[in-house]
Structure 1
Amino acid sequence: MAAKKILFLTGDFAEDYETMVPFQALQMVGHTVHAVCPGKKSGDKIKTAIHDFEGDQTYTEKPGHLFALNANFDDVDVAGYDALMIAGGRAPEYLRLNKRVIEIVRQFAAAEKPIAAVCHGAQLLAAADVIRGKRISAYPACAPEVRLAGADYAEIEVDSVVTDGNFVTAPAWPAHPQWLGQFLARLGTEISL
């Protein structure tokens, strides 16, 4: 397996597990992961939020960790990456307003490179208008945006995942085992124990 180089889009109040777990897991199997956020540089930190499902009508939110970025957003060159990963949580809500973020997502989609998005990460896919005709999962509150973007919203269990072409999407962090597994498969990563 050749190591891949993955761009990881995140930002303040991204979901903690959806930032920390994939960032560490992808490195664990030998990939290079560059975590970036608009307006921030390598070494800067973002604040994460912990979202949990405790029986309320929506998730609860608690302070998470400080997460150190390891690359500069302004230096991103899509041609230098093999895949894109998008963290969920509240960050995609405002990241989708950044023209360069949208341009980056569109470039990955146009090149048909693997794109993994979890939870609210689908908001970036919808805003970039790259999911028309695709079957896409997301946190259920994002279903209207996914549908308005011309995609087929996949109503699946919170621990499930959908892969359609180069898109690997899941509703929330309970899907990490399947979500990361299918993303690794798209990358051609083979793990033997």
Structure 2
Amino acid sequence: MAKVLIITGDFVEDYENMVPFQALLAMGHEVDAVCPDKVAGDSIATSIHDFEGDQTYTEKRGHNFVLNASFADINVADYDALYLPGGRAPEYLRLNAKVIAMIQHFANTDKPIASVCHGPQMLTAAGVLKGKKVSAYPACQPEIEMAGAEYVKLPMDGAITDGQLVTAPAWPAHPAMLKQFVALL
């Protein structure tokens, strides 16, 4: 079984954080969820994004998610794979130099990475997408292309694998994304 790191933060998308966390645990993988400046036992606030027929998703307050590892204590070399959920958290997590270095470690050592929705914003900031085929929430298309990747428009329940990278547009893609991610583990 694999040891998977999740880098997350306040106002991460609730489903995109909790569902893969629980699913990977249920499959027998070891999963550590961390957030900069927080320790095991601290909570992060989540948000729920839904598709209700408006021009963009709607946002509501979600649950509190309890972290099970301390950001400052982890060593990325101890992990087999990385998962980056979406929501609002990637907007500020990508500004953290240690987060960027962690992402670059996984990409440079060719370890599996999965990311959904706005999570690829962290991948663009880390400069690890050049030449890749990548999906994400449609609003992320311009920055994915500026990062030198090919944006792949998928149905909301679709996912794509390019090498060791699995990406998807939003939480309805969990079955496809997790199936592809687990195949890489």
What is the CA-CA distance between 1:145 and the residue it aligns to? 0.7
- The count of aligned residue pairs is 185
Q: 2:100 aligns with which of 99, 102, 124?
A: 102
Q: Which amino acid aligns with 2:15?
A: Y
The residue aligned with 2:124 is 126
Task: Give the one of 70, 76, 80 matched to 1:72.
Answer: 70
Matching of residues 130-169 of structure 1 within 5 Å? 130-169=128-167
Quick one: distance in 2 between partners of 1:124 and 1:152? 16
Distance in 2 of aligned mates of 1:36 and 1:78: 11
CA distance in 1: counterparts of 2:83 and 2:120, whole angstroms: 11
Question: Aligned letter for 2:131?
Answer: G
The structural deviation recorded for 1:89 is: 0.4
Q: 1:146, CA displacement in angstroms?
A: 0.4
Q: How big is each residue's C-alpha offset from its partner over 1:32-68, in whole Å with a ceiling of 9 and x where there is no partner?
A: 0000000100000000000000011100000100000
**How far apart, CA to CA, are the structure 1 residues paired with 2:43 and 2:153?**
34
Distance in 1 (CA, whole Å) between partners of 2:72 and 2:144 is: 28
| TM-score computed with the length of structure 1 as normaliser | 0.95
Give, as a single letter, the amino acid of the residue that structure 2 aligns with 1:131: L
Structure-to-structure mapping, 1:24-35, within 5 angstroms? 24-35=22-33
**In structure 2, what is the equivalent of residue 61 of structure 1?**
59
Residue 76 of structure 1 and its aligned partner are, at CA, apart by 1.9
Match of 2:60, as an amino acid? K
| Partner Cα separation in structure 2 for residue 123 and residue 48 of structure 1 | 18
What are structure 2's unaligned runs of at least 5 residues? none
Identify unmatched segments of 5+ residues in structure 1: 188-193
Give the letter aligned to residue 9 of structure 1: I
Percent identity of the aligned residues? 63
TM norm structure 2: 0.99
